A and B are shown apart, each in its own frame.
Chain A
Amino acid sequence: MSNRAFALVVFAAAAGIIAASRLVTNDYYFSAAYTVLQFVILATAWNILGGYAGYVNFGSAAFFAVGAYSSVFLYRWVHAPLPVMIVTGTLVAGLLGFGVGYLTLRLRGVFFAIATLALAVVLFTCVVNWDYVGGSRGAYILQPKDLPFGLKRYIHVLFGAMVLMAGVALVVARTIETSAIGRGLAAIRDDELAAECAGVPTLRLKILAASVSGALMGMAGTTFPYYLSYVEPSAAFNLSYAVNSIAMPLIGGMMSWMGPLLGALLLGTVQQVVQVTVSSEWNLLIVGVLLVAFVTLAPNGIMGWVDKWKRRRK
């Protein structure tokens, strides 16, 4: 399937999902689906740098929070409309990703991973000490009263935006994967030195992957302030975003765009169910246990099983 056809299919599916959601009356499902979709974006975005290029980013929460806090900033400053917030947050997080891409120039493997973790804590401390966006006390964001398209509640707007953004993330990921960029990134993942020698523009590709990955993670965060109506640093920088965006691609499979999607849908849904039926601590424990179990027992994730099964049938 060409990328254009894929984009058509994805956005047709997105439109279908939004249309079908008009039949759902219980608002809880919108809220739950919003969270799952947010993880679809995070996992897909993480996989662009982590899965395709092999650079582990522990700082997903930082990008997410940058998206969220740029929205808070715009809200306080000019009460910007939602689309402006989404675009701005995406761009700011993309810039941060650009900087992280430059880090890969000197830092390989583990050092890169630790540097991204460090980056998250440094940004966290800066936000805690920045009073304009609420500091450690957090900031209240009021959801707009007037709703577009005759929707009844604001969560419906957020859900629609999230479906579209998830579609964008999937299309971007697949376009990168199937193009020369994706092959270049795969070469970097397998052997960076050899790729460099073979003429792959490694630095340019890594910076591109880091920027796109960061931008998409930031995009997932832009609607977060409206979703909760209240943002505080430890919620926006929550470590569970970092763990989930690593666990989901690992569980689904990191070689294609389908892996993170599967992983996020599966793990995200399980978490929602556990959160409602048991407790939110248990749901985090399950993520950790599943991550460790998959990484030790099924290193190629669910898609690895699928591939094996396909090969056996041939």
Chain B
Amino acid sequence: MDFPTALVLNAIIAGLLLGGLYAAMSVGVSISFGMLDVVNIAHPGFIILGSYIAYIVNARLGFDPIAVGIVVSPLFFALGMALYRVYYLCFERRGQESLRGLAFFFGILFITEVALILVFGVDYRMVSAAYQDTTMRLGPVDFPMRLVVPFLVAMAMVIGVEIFLTRTFFGRAVLAVAQDSLALRLMGVDTLRVKEFAFALSIATAGMAGVLLVVIQPVQPAIGREYIGLVFAVCVLGGMGSIRGTLVGALILGLAESFTATFAGPSWAPAVSFGILLGTLAFKPSGLFGR
């Protein structure tokens, strides 16, 4: 059997482009789960919420979905702040975050999903944008703009978050909270405010990731839960709290899924991310770039 070069090349490109989206989806979990120890299992719920906001504005007013995403990200930021306030008051302060905090976010995920179903039904929704139907060709390899544009936006967002965290004063404060929250408190820092900001940032990235998702593929409310495994797999695979690790993990996962879909059929694709997650948890829990 001759080696299907074009097929493999296309699978690699599609996988890398998909990996960009996964990085955008997971960077928020990397902040909330990896750095703040807040197990925001509802993260995919906010991603889907972002998709639906982009869908409504796009369908009603015809604005470009990515522009919509940038405009509404302050809303997601505020939502994240409010959510963290509730979480802190009800769970973190009482030391009950493990079991009840988890159940809390699970409930939030469920509520967003069912509420979206109640309003929009279970139909798949999509957006239209000018670049969606064009495809660039380089020899045998396709570069569909539908994937390239979200990939570029995702990269900009992830790299922006990384620069913010490592180069700015406030960003370094977030890293410091991740490292040793108690020591920071003893130095007189209001760690609550830092954590609130960081959590809000993570929810804002979720909204943006949702916009990118709906540009790439049609979205319906219940697909959110399929991404729980994915975002946590990326986060764990890359190493907790490492943005660089998240990026690498996302690209690996994108490639793995793309190859499975190409060579074993798309119905096996969901098992890949969860399989990688289970494997990482069982054999190398610290991940690739773990602290």
A contact residues vs B (CB 8 Å cutoff): 50, 54, 56, 58, 103, 106-107, 109-111, 113-115, 117-119, 121-122, 124-126, 128-129, 136, 239, 243, 246-247, 250, 281-282, 284-285, 287-289, 291-292, 295-296, 299
The reply to whether B103 and A246 form a contact with Cβ atoms under 8 Å apart is: yes
Contacting residue for B271 out of A114, A121, A281, A299, CB 8 A: A121
B199 on the A face (CB < 8 A): no
The reply to whether A126 and B271 form a contact with Cβ atoms under 8 Å apart is: yes
Residues from chain A with Cβ under 8 Å of B106 in the complex: 58, 243, 246, 291
- The stretch of B71-79, B113-121, B164-172, B246-254 that contacts the partner chain: B113-121
The reply to whether A111 and B285 form a contact with Cβ atoms under 8 Å apart is: yes
Residues from chain B with Cβ under 8 Å of A121 in the complex: 226, 229, 270-271, 274
User: Lowest 5 CB-CB distances: which A-B pairs, in order?
Assistant: A125-B271, A288-B110, A291-B107, A292-B107, A118-B274
The reply to whether A107 and B103 form a contact with Cβ atoms under 8 Å apart is: no
Q: How far is the CB of B52 from chain A (nearest CB, A)?
A: 16
Residue with the greatest number of chain A CB neighbours at <10 A, chosen from B102, B110, B228, B278: B110
Contacting residue for B229 out of A111, A118, A291, A299, CB 8 A: A118
The interface residues of chain B, by DSSP majority, are classed as: helix
Knowing A291-B106, A291-B110, A292-B111 touch, does A110 contact B39 (C-beta < 8 A)?
Answer: yes
Apart from A110-B33, A110-B102, what are 12 other A-B pairs with CB-CB below 8 Å?
A: A56-B99, A103-B282, A107-B282, A110-B39, A121-B226, A121-B229, A122-B271, A128-B267, A129-B267, A246-B106, A289-B107, A292-B108
CB nearest neighbor in B for A110: B39
Q: How many residue-residue contacts, CB under 8 A, span A and B?
A: 119
Q: How far is the CB of B103 from chain A (nearest CB, A)?
A: 5
The reply to whether B99 and A54 form a contact with Cβ atoms under 8 Å apart is: yes
CB nearest neighbor in B for A282: B118
Q: How far is the CB of A11 from chain B (nearest CB, A)?
A: 32
B125 on the A face (CB < 8 A): no
B185 on the A face (CB < 8 A): no
Q: How far is the CB of B12 from chain A (nearest CB, A)?
A: 23
Residues from chain B with Cβ under 8 Å of A247 in the complex: 103, 107
CB nearest neighbor in B for A121: B274
CA distance A136 to B270 in the complex (A): 14
CB nearest neighbor in A for B112: A288
CB nearest neighbor in A for B87: A296
Contacting residue for B281 out of A107, A246, A291, A299, CB 8 A: A107
The reply to whether B39 and A288 form a contact with Cβ atoms under 8 Å apart is: no
The reply to whether B103 and A56 form a contact with Cβ atoms under 8 Å apart is: yes
Residues from chain B with Cβ under 8 Å of A110 in the complex: 33, 39, 98, 102
Contacting residue for B114 out of A111, A126, A284, CB 8 A: A284
The interface residues of chain A, by DSSP majority, are classed as: helix
Q: How far is the CB of B113 from chain A (nearest CB, A)?
A: 8
Q: How far is the CB of A233 from chain B (nearest CB, A)?
A: 11
B contact residues vs A (CB 8 Å cutoff): 33, 39, 41, 86, 90-91, 94, 96, 98-100, 102-104, 106-108, 110-111, 114-115, 117-118, 225-226, 228-229, 232-233, 236, 267-268, 270-271, 274-275, 277-278, 281-282, 285
Residues from chain A with Cβ under 8 Å of B111 in the complex: 285, 288-289, 292
Q: How far is the CB of B31 from chain A (nearest CB, A)?
A: 15
Residues from chain A with Cβ under 8 Å of B103 in the complex: 56, 246-247, 250, 291, 295
Contacting residue for A106 out of B98, B277, B285, CB 8 A: B285
Q: How far is the CB of A293 from chain B (nearest CB, A)?
A: 9
Residues from chain A with Cβ under 8 Å of B270 in the complex: 121, 124-125
CA distance A250 to B225 in the complex (A): 21
**21 A-B pairs in the complex with CB atoms less than 8 angstroms apart:** A56-B98, A106-B282, A107-B281, A110-B33, A111-B281, A111-B285, A113-B39, A113-B102, A114-B228, A117-B228, A118-B229, A118-B232, A119-B274, A121-B226, A124-B270, A243-B107, A250-B103, A287-B110, A288-B107, A291-B103, A292-B104
Residue with the greatest number of chain B CB neighbours at <10 A, chosen from A109, A122, A124, A239: A122
Q: How far is the CB of A9 from chain B (nearest CB, A)?
A: 31
Residues from chain A with Cβ under 8 Å of B107 in the complex: 243, 247, 288-289, 291-292, 295
CA distance A124 to B90 in the complex (A): 34
Residues from chain B with Cβ under 8 Å of A291 in the complex: 103-104, 106-107, 110
Q: How far is the CB of A33 from chain B (nearest CB, A)?
A: 25
CA distance A118 to B102 in the complex (A): 15
The reply to whether B232 and A114 form a contact with Cβ atoms under 8 Å apart is: yes
Q: How far is the CB of A112 from chain B (nearest CB, A)?
A: 9
The reply to whether B115 and A285 form a contact with Cβ atoms under 8 Å apart is: yes
The reply to whether B285 and A109 form a contact with Cβ atoms under 8 Å apart is: no
The reply to whether A122 and B274 form a contact with Cβ atoms under 8 Å apart is: yes
Q: How far is the CB of A270 from chain B (nearest CB, A)?
A: 15
CB nearest neighbor in A for B110: A288
CA distance A126 to B267 in the complex (A): 9
CA distance A259 to B90 in the complex (A): 21
CA distance A126 to B118 in the complex (A): 30
Residues from chain B with Cβ under 8 Å of A118 in the complex: 229, 232-233, 274-275, 277-278, 281
Residues from chain A with Cβ under 8 Å of B278 in the complex: 115, 118-119, 122
Q: How far is the CB of B203 from chain A (nearest CB, A)?
A: 17
CB nearest neighbor in A for B226: A121
CB nearest neighbor in B for A135: B267
Q: How far is the CB of A298 from chain B (nearest CB, A)?
A: 11
Residues from chain A with Cβ under 8 Å of B274 in the complex: 118-119, 121-122, 125
Contacting residue for A243 out of B110, B115, B228, B229, CB 8 A: B110
